[in-house]
Each structure stands twice: as structure tokens, then as C-alpha cells.
Amino acid sequence: MATTSRKSLYSKLMAFDRAEGLLRAGDNILIAVSGGPDSVCLAHHLSRLAQRRRLRLALVHFHHGLRGREAERDAEFVRGLADRLGLPFILRRLDVRRTASRENRSLEDAGRALRYRELARLAVSDGFDKAATGHQQDDQAETVILHLLRGTKAKGLGGIPPERPLKGAAGVEVIRPLLALTRREVLDYLKAHRLPFRTDRSNRSEKFTRNWIRSRVVPLLEKKNPRIREHLSALAADVRRLLRLKPSRGC
């Protein structure tokens, strides 16, 4: 498979930003960074724009307390990334198991809920007006399929919005600047800029439905339509426009 050039990747990212109006001069942005490829790409991309756009940036890493020494190494990796990019680093430890038990949630759902709650607290306390996450086009396609599997109304086909209000933080928006790129293009970006990243082995476990969709369903669909990710992403955008959706707070 051909590698997408650095220039083409940058052009796609900037065209998406212009179309969605995600970044504005003087924005204060809290970037959620796990250490995986998507979030490393996001942190690097925004850091390159920081001076020209007068962006104030900080990296936040959430330690879920689930993966022992691997999780500690992830935290140290993100701390090192922040140092290399010249950005502030924030570490937050989350008790995911306790929350999952107390709120009768899966570990995956509890972790997501805690991350967004903590993003809201940090945004309010530290004066950020945006929180950026590394969702990309494959995540969008997987989300649309996941909603179909679980049963959804038309609104669910809108998938992951590029921008939505952050619950619990008035005036703060969650933005997804990487939705223009596929997972493969994110890896091309990292290769072009020689950026290392961490791999979470739990992302390969098919006990999580999203991982099963990623490893089984999407590749089967791709055999019939190599552009299935792009088409599902375009469908989600069309649905949001047609229904004039108010962004869901769940993604």
C-alpha cells in the first residue's frame, strides 16, 4: 500500500479544519494523549500549529490503574513526549474498576466516562476552552457500525461529531482534528515525522465489540469496497447535516 506524503497529510488536516472551523487563533487546548499512534499524531500536529495560531496547549494523560507496569511506562512516554514538544504535562490517575462496579458499567465505558469527567474538571480549573481527542476516520466508521449493531435511530448514524460541547464544562468544546485521516494515514504521519508511539495490547482483544468490528467486520467490508471507511465517514457527515443534529455527549 502506498504511503501518503507528509504534504498531502498536512493538506487533508488543514482542509478539514477549515471546513469544520475547529481551531481559532488564541485557543487554549487540552490534548488527551494515551501514547498510542492517534494521540501522538494529534499532539504533534497541534504543536506544529501552536506558534502560528497562538495556541496554548497542554498534554493530559489518564492512568486507568488497569495495566500495571505497562500503564506506568505509557505515562512516562507521554511525559517525555510533552518534554520534546515543549508542552506542559498533566497526569491524572483514575479508579476505573471502582467506578465500573459502583455505576454498573463495563471497564471500557467507565474509563470513557471518567476521562471526559476529568477533562471537564481540568478545562474549568485551568482555563481551557477546548479539549482535543485523537479520533480518526476508522474510529468514525467503526462507531457507525457499532451503533447499527446495537440498534439505533437515524441520529446514531451521525457517528462522532468533529466538535461538541463538553458536558460539565460550560463553554468548552471537544474537538476531533484527525477525523479526516484514516488509521493508515496516521501511521504514515508518524513515520514521516519519525515519531514513536505506544501500543496497548488490550486494543486487540475481541472481547470488546469495537475491537471485533475493527479486526473482523471492517476488513470483510473492505474486500467488497476498499473505500468503506471513507464512505461510512461521509454517511455520518451527511446524516448530521440532514438532521441538523445537536452533537451527542456520548462520543
Residues 6 or more apart whose CB falls under 8 angstroms from that of 241 comprise: none
Of the pLDDT bands very low, low, confident and very high (cuts 50, 70, 90), residue 191 is very high
Residues in a beta bridge with 174: 131, 164
Judge whether 5 and 173 are in contact, CB under 8 Å: no
182-218: string of b/e by CB count within 10 Å (b at 16+)?
Answer: bbbbbbbbbeeeeeebbeeeeeeeeeebebbbbeebb
Which conformational region is residue 91 in: left (phi greater than 0), alpha (psi within -120 to 50 degrees), or beta? Answer: beta
2-6, 65-69, 218-222: which has the highest mean pLDDT? Answer: 218-222
pLDDT for the residue 238: 93
Residue 64's CATH number: 3.40.50.620
Q: 118 lies in a domain?
A: yes
**Residue 73 half-sphere exposure, CB side, CA atoms within 13 Å?**
9
Q: 235 lies in a domain?
A: no
Over residues 55-62, mean pLDDT: 97
Work out whether the CA dihedral 160, 181, 30, 69 comes out positive or negative.
Answer: positive
The total number of structural domains in the chain stands at 1
Q: 16 lies in a domain?
A: yes
Residues in a beta bridge with 60: 32, 90
Of the pLDDT bands very low, low, confident and very high (cuts 50, 70, 90), residue 2 is low
> Which DSSP category does 67 fall into?
S
Q: 218 lies in a domain?
A: no
Q: 220 lies in a domain?
A: no
Domain range for 107? 6-138+158-203
- Answer whether residue 251 shows pLDDT above 70: no
Q: Which of 62, 50, 59, 43 is nearest to 26 (CA)?
A: 50
98-112 pLDDT tens trace: 988 999 988 888 989
- Answer whether residue 145 shows pLDDT above 60: yes
Of the pLDDT bands very low, low, confident and very high (cuts 50, 70, 90), residue 201 is confident
- What is the average pLDDT value for the chain, to the nearest integer? 92
Q: 30 lies in a domain?
A: yes
pLDDT for the residue 202: 72
Q: 123 lies in a domain?
A: yes
**Dist. CA 164–CA 174, nearest whole Å:** 5
The CB density around residue 152, as the number of other CB atoms within 10 Å, is 13
- Answer whether residue 246 shows pLDDT above 80: no
pLDDT for the residue 38: 97
Q: 173 lies in a domain?
A: yes
Of the pLDDT bands very low, low, confident and very high (cuts 50, 70, 90), residue 197 is very high
With a threshold of 0.95, does the pTM exceed it?
Answer: no
**Residue 231 half-sphere exposure, CB side, CA atoms within 13 Å?**
9
- Answer whether residue 192 shows pLDDT above 90: yes
